[in-house]
Amino acid sequence: MCALLLSLALATGCAGNSKDQRSPETNGAAPATSSADSPETASSISEEEAREVAEEALLQLKDFPTGWSQLPPDEDEDVQLDLPPECQAFWEQEEWPGTLVDIDSPEFEGPDEEKVQSGVTIYVDAEAARQAWADGKAAIDLCREPVRAALATYLQEGLRAEYPDANIEVVAFTWDWLPFPPYGDESAAMRMSFTIKVGSQLLVFQSDFIGWRVDRIEASMSFDTRSDPPDPNEEQRLAQIIDERLRDAVKDLD
């Protein structure tokens, strides 16, 4: 889920963190502890083998219509937010316990400045993946509003610092669960949207995040747009491509 938040910060010209990268999430308690706090669980596959399997499940440029391009890697900086301690732990979470491999595809850009990126996380076993999903969703339920408010403040302050002579204001910033066809054993989708007023002009940025789990593999996809919301038909087409590769990946891990 952090991948979604950071992609939004980057979309407005602010800096974000990066990972090898990851995310998804739903209901309940406090954020998960880091993998360093949990006992190691033996995996039947090596990290190198898991990485090869994960890379095969990521989106590729050939999956997009004519007119899309692959963007070069972007060097990101840390986004520091003013959050309650329990939410700060969630925001800074790099890997959930039991993570074996966690990688992102390149970012792909469409002709209307759409941006799409996918991610795959492989856990040591299905139980570790299930627990990471539950912990992540619980953390979002706990921290969604504090993170939303802190990101809105961060964005406003960053824009004012970068454009001190411009009349720029963040006039709306939302982050809500999004209806989306179910995938895998568990799935969830969210949309974050913010509107920036520049003088008399309104600029709208929207980002959808879709995540799902199949056995011990978790997939994610972010879809960022300006003005119009992401095309649900295109989102579902790309999600279906990932889902088919994910199921092949689960077989490869058996």
The pLDDT, as a whole number, for residue 165 is 87
The pLDDT, as a whole number, for residue 42 is 53
Run of H or E residues at 169: strand 168-177
Q: What distance in Å separates the CA atoms of residue 236 and residue 105, rounded to the nearest whole number?
A: 18
Which stretches in the chain have pLDDT values below 70?
A: 1-43, 76-77
Tens of pLDDT, residues 43-74: 678 899 999 999 999 999 999 999 999 999 87
Distance (Å) of CA 199 to CA 141, 155, 182, 202: 35, 17, 41, 8
Tens of pLDDT, residues 136-149: 999 999 999 999 99
The pLDDT, as a whole number, for residue 43 is 60
* Predicted TM-score (pTM) of this structure: 0.82
Domain that holds residue 84: 2-253
Q: What distance in Å separates the CA atoms of residue 22 and residue 106, rounded to the nearest whole number?
A: 13
Report CA Rg, the chain: 18
Q: Is 33 helix (H, G, I), strand (E, B) or coil?
A: coil
Number of folded domains that form the chain: 1
The pLDDT, as a whole number, for residue 79 is 82
